[in-house]
Amino acid sequence: MYKKFKLKNGAKIVIAPMKSTKTVTVLVIVGTGSKNETNKIRGISHFLEHMFFKGTEKRPTKLDISKELDSVGGSYNAFTGKEHTGFWAKVDSKHCDLALDVISDMLLNSKLATEDIDSERGTIIEELNMFFDNPMMRIPFLFEEVLYLNNSMGWDIGGTKKTIKSVQKIDFMDYYKKYYTGDNIVIVVAGNFNEKLIKNKINQYFNSISKTKSKKQLKAYDKQIKPNVYLKYQKTDQSHLCLGVRGYKNGHKDKYALNLLSIILGGNMSSRLYMSVVEKGLAYYIYTSPESYNDVGYLASQTGVNNEKCLNAINIIIDEYKKIKNEKVGIEEIKRAKDYLKGQSVIALESSSSMASFFATQELDVGKILTPEEKFAKIDKVTAEDIQRVANDIFVDKKLNLALIGPFNNKKMFRKILKF
């Protein structure tokens, strides 16, 4: 289903042939993100992602880059997270060489021109303005700020307006040299391609990646002794909130039990929280999901409710947490959750882009790839006892956290109900 090898510069390569598709996706993931930033350069991971699209020696402008992929109907983009930065292009399989050429050129030959940096500052500041004006989008990041206060894991990926205005070319070059190295990069090519030629082509386009060792990722810490509340006062008709608990880091043995627990609680439209919150008219949406990083993790439920119903919604979420903690989940409910999780995985992996992401994140985060079948076997092994054990481990008072955007500033009112 896939093959792995390394380039001489240390870059890890995964090729995943898919004869059932007519597309190919080239994805490069670098093991760095906002977690590796200092106060002086907050937002530089995301800023640098933008700069890779501004031009190279071969393709001097952003238009020169975009028009090549646009001219073949390709999809392309990039993303920045707390621990990853990724770049990808998805094209008709006959344009595989073009995707390899453009992505490698952007990654390895960006001009990082001072005038381009200066012009992009305004774009990113407007992106920050859009982000801050959208409570639904912002609330998960505020929840992480609660969890990782005074730690780079809790910082907004976009940085601050102050740092975006102040970072200079030398800062970008220094950051690039520290983290954009072979040992910190995974390249995945997934889709319909010539398997006999692809290895040489990848080497041809990516052999100039730096061989130096990357700087180690900064460590996140995960300590808490009592429930935390973070209120962002804003005059709104609807309050958006994230309520959750500390969970598990990447590779934890109870990963699949936690995933199933989150689906049962709020993973789909037949979940417990959806039926008790949305179907009863308290909110338009609610969902529960786990998040795992290299050092830390959590599970959280997010919703947006009428301000007057805010306390009621929080009480309902906590009640559902307590219920799954105190009562074993029934066989039928577990089966539905398992089938949902496996079904969603199968649907996602029909596309070359999803397949590329599936392999890249596993290889980068844990250095070991499980096939869908191997993952499904682990899912099937989870029992009702496992789910209840995990619920009792995470649903305790000292791990509870609430972040809320709305017209509230009385933390005591919320602290009173944050308990199991």
49 is catalytic: yes
- How far from the centroid of its chain's Cα atoms is residue 42's Cα? 18
Q: 202 Cβ partners below 8 Å, 6+ apart?
A: 7, 13, 15, 100, 187, 189
Q: What is the CA radius of gyration of the chain?
A: 22
- Using a 10 angstrom Cβ sphere, with 0-12 exposed, 13-18 middle and 19 or more buried, the burial of residue 415 is middle
Q: Regarding beta strands 400-406 and 12-17, do their DSSP bridges make them parallel or antiparallel, or are they unpaired?
A: unpaired
Catalytic residue among 37, 49, 83, 333: 49
- How far from the centroid of its chain's Cα atoms is residue 85's Cα? 10
Its sign, for the CA torsion 188, 190, 195, 200, is negative
Give the active site residues.
49
